[in-house]
Structure 1
Amino acid sequence: MVISDRSPERIVTPFSQRILDDPLPKHYQNLNIGEYSGTTDPEDHLYKFESVALLQQFFDGVECQMFLTTLGGAAQRWFKKLSENSIRRFKDFHKVFLHHFSSNRKYHKTPWSLFSIKQEPKESIRAYIKRFNQVVIDVPNATTEILVSAYSQGLNDNDFFKNLIRNPPINFDLLIERATEFIKVEEAQVARKKENVVPIPTPTNDRSTTPVHPPWGPRADPPPHRQPELIPQAV
């Protein structure tokens, strides 16, 4: 945003006049979503901003102005180089922002990548669900049928797996509900095993009961010489 040399009173900005005419809220505060400097995923930043903007019910022009306040560093420099009057609504801002910083976007995995997730031999059901869900975040277009199928096929041959095969859930939410019951049983069994462990007594270093033998060796004094007892002879 710079001042035109031709007219010192006119501000040259990528925003249209309609955007500039929208007044900011009376109790204006900076949005607590962090600053975007052009080095991270732009979609993540947009998602956080749009969530806040929806709650605040910003007008379109105010939304553009508020989004500009969340840019810093290279992102601010990029904005200042945009053509004058090129942004007339937030949809325009959204489009050019994602396009310019597209090299920093995370590439989503395909739904079929979920089938490569397998439960480890000693991994608990709780830990497996947590690891599975972390990958699901990067697969936004996975259907509930794919989630159920991929999760079930990744399970070990345990009671939960057999239950899912006998009675397949109709969606992933029901699968998670059913998994909760098996997690309770699994964790109760682990707790019982810990209670049944018999501690092994540790040997003590009490030397009071250990017999002490006199030293014997080249440096030890030999036992005193005893004279043979004389037996009187009969005359």
Structure 2
Amino acid sequence: MNQAAPARRTPPPAGGGAPSIHRRVGPIRDARDTLDARRRSRVDREEGVDRSYHVHRGDRYDSEEDRSPSPDPAGPQAFSASILSAPFPPRFRQPTNVAKYSGETNPGLWLSDYWLACQAGGADDDLFIIRNLPLFLADSARAWLEHIPSGRIRSWNDLREIFVGNFQGTYMRPGNSWDIRSCRQESGESLRDYIRRFSRKRTELSNVAGADVVGAFLAGTSCRPLVHELGRRGPRTTEDLLNIATGFASSEEAVGAIFDCSKGEEKRKEDADEGTSNCP
């Protein structure tokens, strides 16, 4: 009995062999990628987070990638949310001629100067100008701002009311007419030096009336001829007073210089007659 010949397998066509292991398994992934993806998925399930993205090869994400909420903007708690989120103006230049406020000067004037300097630097939004304020406060004023209740400052008017109200009683106020009356010419002090010192004191006391300034100078100087001159000409303003006094001092110095020279010449003649010399 003849046995049937075994069936022959047709060899695969050239170039069309069995698919490789790479084709059957797919792209090779690092085991760490898989473990990281599983770990993130487990944490998300435990925390109830819906990230709305899908993991792709190489841990790349689709266009709807996770966007965590932005942190709260930094700044004092006293500022409202609209102030803390005020945008930074383009090409803004920080003021360079405004000193940090320390509570020693008029708060209303300083705040106006600060606002004007920010405007000149390119800021036209009051909310941003308020947000920028902490950079121009000294340590004590900065600490005060940090203790204001949350959200208390919402506008420029709020800031001005609170700022001026707090520092109005702490800054050094100008003196009065009694302070300038205490500026008296000292023994041995030249008239010109006294005029300079009196003028500086007058600058510090800008709220003293002109008549009080004239009276204080007449009471303070020890130069009687100048008092007679001022009584004759009767200055009514500080400017008139200082012009007359300065001119009188210049005349006195010129006369003194002339007489000193004359006395020196006489002394030299006497020394020459006696055969002595004062030259070094």
Cα distance in 1 for partners of 2:258, 2:90 equals 60
Q: TM-score, normalised by structure 1?
A: 0.63
- The structure-2 alpha-carbon separation of the partners of 1:27 and 1:172, relative to structure 1 and needing over 3 Å to count, comes to same
User: 1:156-235 counterparts in 2 under 5 A?
Assistant: 156-193=222-259, 195-196=261-262, 197=264, 201=277
The equivalent residue for 2:145 is 79
2:188 aligned with 1:122, yes or no? yes
User: Does the 8 Å contact 2:191/2:223 carry over to 1?
Assistant: no
**In the TM superposition, what is the alpha-carbon distance from 1:168 to its structure 2 partner?**
0.9
Which one of 35, 54, 59 corresponds to residue 100 of structure 2?
35
User: Does the 8 Å contact 1:145/1:171 carry over to 2?
Assistant: yes
What SS does the corresponding residue of 2:234 show, helix, strand or coil? coil
**In the TM superposition, what is the alpha-carbon distance from 1:31 to its structure 2 partner?**
2.7
The equivalent residue for 1:217 is none
Deviation per residue, 1:2-52 (Å, 9 max, x gap): xxxxx964446323455453753623235343434x4x6143x87566446
User: 1:96-107 counterparts in 2 under 5 A?
Assistant: 96-101=162-167, 104-107=170-173
Amino acid at match of 1:28: R
- The structure-2 alpha-carbon separation of the partners of 1:176 and 1:25, relative to structure 1 and needing over 3 Å to count, comes to farther
The equivalent residue for 1:61 is 127
- Report percent identity of matched pairs: 23
Q: TM-score, normalised by structure 2?
A: 0.55
Identify which range, 107-116 or 145-154, moves more after superposition. 107-116
Higher relative contact order (CA 8 A, sep 6+): 1
**In the TM superposition, what is the alpha-carbon distance from 1:188 to its structure 2 partner?**
2.0
What SS does the corresponding residue of 2:136 show, helix, strand or coil? coil
Q: Which 5+ residue runs of structure 2 have no aligned equivalent?
A: 1-68, 272-276
- The structure-2 alpha-carbon separation of the partners of 1:78 and 1:8, relative to structure 1 and needing over 3 Å to count, comes to farther
2:178 aligned with 1:112, yes or no? yes
**In the TM superposition, what is the alpha-carbon distance from 1:162 to its structure 2 partner?**
0.8
**In the TM superposition, what is the alpha-carbon distance from 1:70 to its structure 2 partner?**
1.1
What SS does the corresponding residue of 1:69 show, helix, strand or coil? helix
Cα distance in 2 for partners of 1:126, 1:53 equals 41
Q: Which has the larger radius of gyration?
A: 2
Amino acid at match of 1:154: G
Deviation per residue, 1:100-159 (Å, 9 max, x gap): 456752243222232232222432332222222333344343111111221222222432
- The structure-2 alpha-carbon separation of the partners of 1:19 and 1:129, relative to structure 1 and needing over 3 Å to count, comes to farther
The equivalent residue for 1:220 is none
More helix by share: 2
User: Does the 8 Å contact 1:31/1:70 carry over to 2?
Assistant: no
**In the TM superposition, what is the alpha-carbon distance from 1:165 to its structure 2 partner?**
0.8
Give the aligned CA root-mean-square deviation in angstroms: 3.6
